């Protein structure tokens, strides 16, 4: 198995632009998580999907952030419009239903908003 | 509010030496505690997982301990190697099955 796949690995954009991050979870996993990591705050859970349905989105910072999971093998995290304070590493993780808290992380997307 | 506090924030040791990282938590009810290792530029990778009834668990040169009464855990690294240089993150899961992350300890092993 290739593990959790994220794209792009690096993204540099200008303030105000739309940014879309993509994630392919491990095949067979039915839970998917989006995290943001910064030096100041560490890892923060943004949103959690179970069987493609958003279960907990209390960590989504504001309306500029949205996430979708149209099917079991794909999810997106969109920021529109982006701001410099959104600069961070965004991780996607997935887990199986039997051990929902045993998460496998992707390599992350490093986002820089100028 | 569920919280996980780790100490020290950063640590520098010489290759071959031992070190111990600390984790205190207030997550309740408690389900399990996991230590992750995060290499620079990569996602976290699980090292050990401990449930309420487990006091000690080893994974090679890594040994984790758990005191559920005092809500403390430690990660002991024996005979450190250069490849141990990474961030070590303590993660505690409670009844909601949503994990609470510590901010990590940054370990640097010098030759």
Q: How far is B39 from chain A (nearest CA, A)?
A: 10
Nearest in space to B5 (alpha carbons), one of A48, A36, A38, A42: A42
Q: What percent of chain A lies above the pLDDT cut of 70?
A: 95
Smallest Cα distance from A80 to chain B, Å: 25
The residue of chain B with its CA nearest to that of A105 is B43
Q: What's the distance, CA A35 to chain centroid? A: 5
**Cβ–Cβ contact B95 with A under 8 A:** no
Query: How many A/B residue pairs have CB atoms within 8 Å?
Result: 42
User: Which residues in chain B (20-79) have CB-CB distances under 8 A to chain A?
Assistant: 31-32, 34, 41-46, 49
Higher pLDDT: B11 or B53? It is B11
pLDDT-derived band at A96 (thresholds 50, 70, 90) equals confident
Please judge whether B44 and A105 are an interchain contact, meaning their C-beta atoms are less than 8 angstroms apart.
yes
Mean pLDDT of A58-63: 87
User: Could you tell me what percent of chain B has a pLDDT over 90?
Assistant: 79
Max Cα–Cα distance, chain B, nearest Å: 43
pLDDT in tens, B33-84: 999 999 998 999 999 999 888 899 999 999 999 999 999 999 999 999 999 9
Q: Which of A101, A106, A108 minimises the CB distance to B99?
A: A101
Give the C-alpha separation, B51 to B68, whole Å. Answer: 9
Least confident interval from A76-90, A97-111, B15-29: A97-111
Environment class of B2 (CB within 10 Å of its CB; exposed 0-12, middle 13-18, buried 19+): middle
Mean predicted confidence (pLDDT) in B11-21? 97
Of A42, A45, A106, the CB nearest to B98: A45
**Distance from the B97 Cα atom to the nearest Cα atom in chain A, whole angstroms:** 6
State which H helix or E strand residue A68 sits in: strand A65-71
């Amino acid at each position: 198995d290739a593990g959790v796949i994220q794209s792009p690995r690096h993204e540099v954009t200008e303030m105000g632009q739309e940014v879309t991050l993509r994630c392919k979870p491990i095949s067979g996993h039915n839970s998917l998580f989006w995290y943001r990591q910064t030096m100041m705050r560490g890892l923060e859970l943004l949103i959690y999907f179970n069987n493609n349905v958003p279960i907990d989105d209390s960590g989504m910072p504001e309306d500029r952030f949205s996430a979708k999971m149209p099917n079991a093998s794909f999810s997106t995290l969109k920021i529109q419009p982006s701001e410099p304070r959104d600069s961070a590493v965004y991780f996607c993780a997935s887990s199986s239903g039997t051990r929902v808290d045993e998460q496998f992380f992707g390599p992350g997307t490093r986002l820089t908003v100028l | 509010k569920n919280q996980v506090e780790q100490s020290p924030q950063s640590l520098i040791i010489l290759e071959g030496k031992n070190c111990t990282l600390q984790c205190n938590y207030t997550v309740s009810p408690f389900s399990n505690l996991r230590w992750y290792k995060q290499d620079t530029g990569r996602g976290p990778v699980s090292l050990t997982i401990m449930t309420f009834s487990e006091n000690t668990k080893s994974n090679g040169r890594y040994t984790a301990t758990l005191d559920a009464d005092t809500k403390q855990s430690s990660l002991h690294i024996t005979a450190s190697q250069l490849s141990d240089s990474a961030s070590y993150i303590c993660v505690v899961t409670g009844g909601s099955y949503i994990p609470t992350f510590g901010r990590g300890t940054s370990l640097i092993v010098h030759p």
